[in-house]
């Protein structure tokens, strides 16, 4: 090294050490390029995830595989590139069953973190809900194949003291998965196993007994963005005079959710008393209106769609509300209830009503009645049933996040969602 | 997009809980049903997952009492890693208890102020526009602010302990994540950011007094409305005191005779069975020894007041004695007394929170997690705000969950709520040709007293949408009413 070269990033001239990694140089100069497979000491970089795709000398190229050299012209922040990178990460979420709330890595997960940095509330691709193996065969770890993004980090990096690889790629294409060599894995020390867990950018490699990391708020990606250009908080949340605005009607509903999102709305505490000066609640579990009394400005939807009644309710909301806001993981992509999507419905019913240990002997039946709505074959996210206008992720979303977004939709009030308020778990 | 959905013939239904009332030739009530229309299947889809995920996964059953599910699952998972409740460190136990009391406190406050108080303040016949927390706030802002602030206190304490107000994490297998820091603890004692714990005790006391007063003015209503005999189930300490976190299971019949004599929660399978009805996704648990017909129990505040010998904190104990002076017997079978009992528990939890907040053990950072010899079965029972909650897991030698059984509190109250609906149907609706809005609300008032958390079995809240239908003896629908 030693030699300085001139490059441009988004038109800005930058002097850099020749041969250095482009992602590093960009970051040092205040340009955020998301990366996932790129890892400190893996050289040459893997280039497997494509999250870092930029336009380099006019061609779409993963930035992490690029070394800085004279005359490099890099485009990072065009709308097209930003959208492309976002799409790549969305694809990863859609491809696996990333149920953040139940994941040991949550808060310390690189994939989740990239989702936050890119502001991903929803995936534009349908979720596959594949039923992949959770492999308990290894001694120290559990391999959660649903969460693997096939970045190859573990395959190239993890070795035991004999210098033997522990992980390998198996199968091809769509069917590729990471296999664990149980024999070699056994020889890992506990620290080496933990190291392997840390190398994995998702929660695919879980070390037994290390299943929970740190409390909320103290996790790696809880508080601050790494992006230099991450939205700064708008000074005041009340930057329009709310005393002068027109009163609006809001309806809320809980479909297949846990009511946590409704509870979160109430967590603005006494602020709710100010809000009700501006908002009238129409149909909602919080009021006694069982049907819409009139058209509403906003409908807030919690929960996914699991039976025909949910379908009907959701359609009514679409008809009766100008805007629909899906609040929480369940409404957005199925959340916890969607764990049932990898299992035949019949099995779920049989387990609860026929096989359950406390059920009456010889007197079991699966409920079926004209007053019970028919269940759907699987859990559907709300937007598969009706058009949804706005999505607020989280399980549940932060109270402030919900109300800032709703106020913005109702009165165009400016707001910024703090990095710490934007979560998937 | 909806084209991709496979739906069996759609029948028009609304809401998550549903009541149907069937009349005979003379217009007398023949059958009534409180249908639970939602099913999720946790028991099945948790299988295959590692056991340590359970406390976080299953708390998503419910956003109103997630802590109860988190802790019941944690108690079960403790056993899987070889730790019985007595083996947990003192600090870990106290931190979990504090979390639990904060949760009951906030949940009871939520129920009373947001859901139940409109009926009590405005009467069961009040117009629906008024019957909500907004109505309460308009009429009595001070009361509303107190209620909201009480809930906030509980939620803030939960956040301090578990990192988040809803679906936080405190418990880990064999212990807790962390202790409280002195500065965090002080927020609840110094009243700088929000009213302190002494204020919570004072306000809880005021609510109990409000209820006493209400009782004087509405005694007949409280005594008779949806009153019926039943068994009562809950947990008690070895000395018979009310115990919400880790007690023995006790049940009594409607007269106070013991039907379950302070047994170990771990043995619950010996005593309980669940019936299934084809018209509801919620099961009907009962005591095997007493039988399906009479063996079902009410759970929750009313039941807990009935089964315990005393309450361990002074103010709540005093309130309990006054309560029983009025009820006149050792067992109270009147549905509406649940509200009063709930407020006594709110006071009890406030007192318990104070005890623990002043206890240095909650600041101790040492010995937070313990290890034992792994086992394959774990059973955790806790008194959730709404009653006895059971989590039971079986795992294989690799740590994979192979079986899960949950009996959530509201499920225990399934028979009781159906009984309450029947009572209102028989006493209010029977022989009436037209159903009024007020009558329907009374059906709800009866159900609401149980603070049913259908989120656990379904996902509705106290004021779940209801649709009442009137059938003649041939089963033809002759009247139908949904309330607006
Ligand atoms: S297990 Fe983790 S490190 Fe290995 S390929 Fe999958 S995501 Fe990458
Ligand atoms: S997103 Fe989370 S909090 Fe909201 S309903 Fe679903 S499980 Fe509950
Ligand atoms: S970070 Fe560059 S390809 Fe993955």
- pLDDT of res. B37: 67
Verify whether the Cβ–Cβ distance A306 to B455 is below 8 Å.
no
Is A51 near ligand 3, meaning CB less than 6 Å away? yes
Contacting residues of B for A288, CB less than 8 Å apart: 128-129, 131-132, 441, 463, 483
Model pLDDT, residue B428: 85
| A58 vs A38: CA distance, rounded Å | 22
One DSSP character per residue, A199-210 reads HSSSSSEEETT-
What pLDDT is attached to residue B119? Answer: 85
Say which ligand is closest to the CA of A141.
Answer: 1
| Residue A110 CB contacts under 8 Å (≥ 6 apart), including other chains | A36, A201, A202
Mean model confidence pLDDT for chain B:
86
pLDDT at residue A231 in the model: 66
Distance (Å) from the C-alpha of residue B67 to the closest C-alpha of chain A? 12
The set of long-range contacts for B236-241, using a CB threshold of 8 Å and a minimum separation of 24, is B236/B262, B236/B307, B236/B308, B236/B309, B237/B312, B238/B262, B239/B309, B240/B308, B240/B309, B240/B310, B241/B308, B241/B309, B241/B310, B241/B311, B241/B312
Q: Tell if the CB–CB gap between B35 and A371 is shorter than 8 Å.
A: yes
pLDDT (tens digit, 9 = 90+) per residue, B239-263? 999 999 999 999 999 999 999 999 9
Cβ of A343 within 8 Å of Cβ of B44? The answer is yes
CB pairs under 8 A between A and B: 304
Q: A358 CB near a chain B CB, below 8 Å?
A: yes
Chain B contacts in chain A segment 194-253 (CB below 8 A): 206, 208, 211-212, 214-218
Q: Which atom of ligand 3 is nearest to the CA of A64?
A: 2
Ligand 2 centroid to residue A302 C-alpha, Å: 7
Task: Report the distance separating Cα A168 and Cα A148, nearest Å.
Answer: 13
> Collapsing DSSP states into helix, strand and coil, what is residue A163?
coil
Cβ distance A340 to B40 less than 8 Å, yes or no, reads yes
Identify which of A169, A200, A203, A207 to mutate to test ligand 1's pocket (most ligand atoms within 8 A of the CB): A200
Q: Does residue B296 surpass a pLDDT of 90?
A: yes
With contacts defined as CB-CB under 8 Å, which chain B residues touch A337?
40
Q: Please report which confidence band the pLDDT of residue B12 belongs to, taking 50, 70 and 90 as the band edges.
A: very low
Taking CA–CA distances from B7, the nearest residue in chain A reads A376
pLDDT number for residue A392:
96
CB of A146 within 8 Å of any CB in chain B?
Answer: no
Q: Of A45, A49, A48, which is closest to residue A23 (Cα–Cα)?
A: A45
Give the alpha-carbon dihedral of A372, A378, A381, A386, to 10 degrees. Answer: -60
Name the residue among B11, B137, B173 with its Cβ closest to that of A276: B137
Residues of A (159-178) whose Cβ lies below 8 Å from B = none
| Residue A315 C-beta-side C-alpha neighbours within 13 Å | 11
* Residue of chain A with shortest Cα separation from B161: A215
For ligand 3, say whether the CB of A50 is within 6 Å of any of its atoms: yes
Q: What mean pLDDT comes out for the span B378-404?
A: 95
User: Which residues does chain A have within 8 Å of residue B396's beta carbon, measured at their own beta carbons?
Assistant: 136
Q: What is the mean predicted confidence (pLDDT) over B409-417?
A: 89
Q: Residue B459: its pLDDT value, please?
A: 30
- pLDDT of B477 reads 59
Residue B466 has pLDDT above 50, yes or no: no
* Model confidence pLDDT, tens digit, residues B364-377: 999 999 999 999 99
Closest CB to A101: pick one of B60, B398, B467.
B60
The alpha carbon of residue B243 is apart from the nearest alpha carbon of chain A, in Å, by 24
> Is B132 within 8 Å of A260 when comparing Cβ atoms?
no
Q: Is the pLDDT of residue B2 over 50?
A: no
Ligand 3 neighbour A334 (Cβ under 6 A): no
> CA B265, CA B256: separation in Å to the nearest integer?
21
Residue of A nearest to B145 (CA): A270
Whether residue B191 is predicted with pLDDT greater than 80 in this model: the reply is yes
Question: Tell me, what's the pLDDT at B129?
Answer: 81
Q: Is A64 in the pocket of ligand 3 (CB under 6 A)?
A: yes
Is A416 in contact with A239 (CB distance < 8 Å)? no
Give the pLDDT of residue A242.
Answer: 66
Max mean pLDDT among A208-212, B44-48, B95-99, B213-217 falls in B95-99
Distance in angstroms between the alpha carbons of the first and the last residue of chain A: 44
Helix/strand/coil for A94: helix
Which comes out higher in pLDDT, residue A358 or B156?
B156
Give the minimum alpha-carbon distance from B208 to chain A in angstroms, rounded to a whole number.
22
Query: Is A376 an interface residue toward B (CB < 8 Å)?
Result: yes
What's the rounded Cα separation, in Å, for the pair A168 and A175? 14
Q: What is the pLDDT along chain A (425 residues), one digit of tens a residue?
A: 579 999 999 999 999 999 999 999 999 999 999 999 998 878 889 999 999 999 999 999 999 999 999 999 999 999 999 999 999 999 999 999 898 988 999 999 999 999 999 999 999 999 999 889 999 999 999 999 999 999 999 999 999 999 999 999 999 887 889 999 999 999 999 999 999 999 999 999 999 988 666 788 889 999 888 887 776 665 555 556 667 788 999 999 989 888 899 999 999 988 888 888 888 989 888 887 778 999 999 999 999 998 888 999 999 999 999 999 999 999 998 888 888 888 877 787 788 788 888 887 777 777 877 777 788 888 899 999 999 999 999 999 999 999 999 999 998 888 888 899 999 99
Ligand 1 binding pocket (C-beta < 6 A) is A 148-154, 178, 199-202, 204-205
User: In ligand 3, which atom is closest to the CA atom of A34?
Assistant: 1
């Amino acid at each position: 090294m030693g030699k300085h070269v001139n490059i441009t990033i988004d038109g800005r001239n930058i002097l850099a050490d020749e041969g250095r990694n482009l992602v590093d140089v960009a970051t040092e100069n205040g340009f955020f390029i998301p990366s996932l497979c790129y890892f400190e000491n893996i050289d040459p970089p893997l280039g497997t995830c494509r999250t870092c795709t930029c336009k380099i000398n006019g061609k779409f190229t993963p930035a992490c595989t690029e070394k800085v050299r004279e005359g490099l012209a890099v485009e990072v922040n065009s709308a097209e590139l930003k959208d492309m990178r976002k799409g790549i990460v969305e694809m990863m979420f859609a491809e696996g069953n990333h149920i953040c709330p139940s994941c040991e890595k949550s808060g310390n997960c690189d994939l989740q973190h990239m989702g936050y940095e890119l502001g991903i509330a929803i995936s534009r691709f349908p979720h596959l809900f594949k039923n992949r193996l959770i492999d308990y065969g290894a001694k120290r770890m559990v391999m959660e194949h649903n969460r693997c993004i096939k970045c190859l980090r573990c395959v190239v990096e993890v070795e035991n003291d004999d210098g033997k690889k522990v992980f390998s790629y198996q199968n091809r294409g769509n069917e590729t998965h990471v296999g664990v060599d149980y024999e070699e894995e056994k020889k890992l020390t506990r620290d080496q196993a933990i190291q392997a867990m840390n190398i994995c950018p998702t929660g695919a490699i879980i070390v037994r007994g290390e299943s929970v990391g740190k409390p909320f708020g103290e996790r790696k990606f809880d508080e601050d963005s790494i992006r230099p250009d991450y939205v700064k908080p708008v000074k005041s949340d009340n930057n329009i005079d709310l005393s002068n605005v027109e009163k609006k009607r809001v309806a809320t509903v809980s479909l297949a959710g846990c009511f946590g999102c409704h509870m979160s709305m109430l967590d603005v505490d006494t602020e709710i008393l100010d809000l009700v000066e501006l908002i009238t609640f129409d149909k909602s579990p919080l009021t006694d209106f069982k049907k819409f009394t009139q058209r509403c400005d906003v409908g807030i939807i919690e929960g996914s769609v699991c039976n025909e009644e949910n379908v009907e309710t959701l359609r009514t909301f679409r008809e009766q509300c100008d805007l629909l806001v899906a609040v929480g993981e369940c409404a957005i992509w199925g959340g916890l209830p969607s764990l049932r999507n990898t299992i035949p419905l019949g099995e779920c019913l049989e387990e609860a009503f026929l096989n359950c240990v406390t059920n009456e002997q010889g007197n079991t039946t699966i409920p079926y009645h004209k007053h019970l709505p028919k269940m759907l074959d699987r859990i559907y996210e709300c937007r598969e049933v009706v058009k949804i206008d706005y999505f607020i992720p989280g399980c549940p979303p932060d109270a402030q996040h919900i109300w800032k977004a709703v106020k913005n939709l109702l009165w165009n009030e400016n707001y910024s969602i703090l990095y710490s308020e934007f979560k998937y778990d | 997009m909806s084209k991709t959905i496979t739906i069996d013939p759609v029948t028009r239904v609304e809401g998550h809980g549903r009541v149907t009332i069937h009349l005979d030739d003379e217009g007398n009530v023949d059958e009534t049903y409180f249908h639970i229309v939602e099913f999720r299947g946790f028991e099945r889809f948790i299988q295959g997952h590692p056991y340590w995920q359970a406390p976080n996964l299953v708390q998503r059953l419910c956003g109103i009492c997630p802590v109860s599910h988190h802790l019941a699952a944690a108690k079960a998972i403790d056993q899987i890693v070889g730790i019985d409740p007595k083996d947990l460190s003192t600090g870990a136990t106290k931190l979990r208890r504090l979390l639990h009391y904060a949760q009951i406190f906030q949940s009871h406050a939520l129920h009373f102020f947001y859901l139940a108080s409109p009926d009590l303040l405005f009467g069961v016949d009040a117009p629906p526009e008024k019957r909500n927390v907004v109505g309460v706030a308009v009429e009595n802002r001070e009361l509303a602010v107190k209620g909201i602030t009480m809930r906030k206190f509980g939620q803030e304490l939960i956040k301090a302990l578990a990192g988040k107000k809803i679906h936080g994490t405190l418990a880990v297998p064999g212990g807790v994540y962390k202790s409280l820091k002195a500065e965090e603890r002080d927020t609840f004692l110094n009243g700088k950011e929000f009213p302190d714990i002494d204020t919570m005790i004072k306000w809880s006391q005021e609510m109990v007094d409000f209820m006493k007063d209400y009782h004087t003015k509405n005694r007949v209503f409280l005594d008779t409305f949806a009153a019926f005999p039943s068994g009562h189930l809950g947990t008690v300490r070895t000395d018979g005191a009310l115990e919400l976190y880790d007690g023995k299971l006790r049940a009594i019949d409607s007269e106070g005779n013991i039907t379950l004599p302070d047994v170990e929660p771990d043995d619950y399978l010996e005593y309980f069975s669940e019936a299934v009805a084809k018209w509801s996704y919620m099961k009907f648990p009962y005591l095997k020894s007493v039988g399906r017909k009479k063996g079902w129990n009410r759970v929750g505040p009313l039941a807990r007041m009935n089964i315990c010998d005393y309450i361990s904190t002074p103010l709540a104990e005093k309130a309990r004695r006054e309560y029983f002076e009025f009820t006149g017997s050792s067992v109270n079978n009147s549905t509406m007394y649940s509200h009063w009992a709930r407020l006594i528990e709110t006071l009890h939890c406030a007192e318990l929170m104070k005890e623990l907040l002043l206890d240095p053990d909650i600041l101790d950072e040492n010995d937070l997690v313990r290890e034992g010899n792994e086992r394959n079965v774990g059973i955790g029972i806790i008194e959730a705000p709404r009653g006895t909650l059971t989590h039971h897991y079986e795992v294989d030698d690799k740590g994979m969950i192979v079986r899960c059984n949950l009996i959530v509190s509201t499920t225990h109250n399934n028979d009781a709520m159906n009984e309450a609906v029947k009572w209102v149907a028989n006493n209010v609706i029977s022989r009436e040709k037209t159903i009024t809005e007020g009558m329907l609300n009374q059906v709800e008032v009866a159900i609401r007293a149980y603070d049913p958390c259908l989120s656990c079995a379904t996902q509705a809240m106290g004021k779940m949408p209801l649709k009442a239908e009137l059938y003649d003896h041939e089963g033809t629908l002759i009247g139908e009413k949904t309330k607006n």
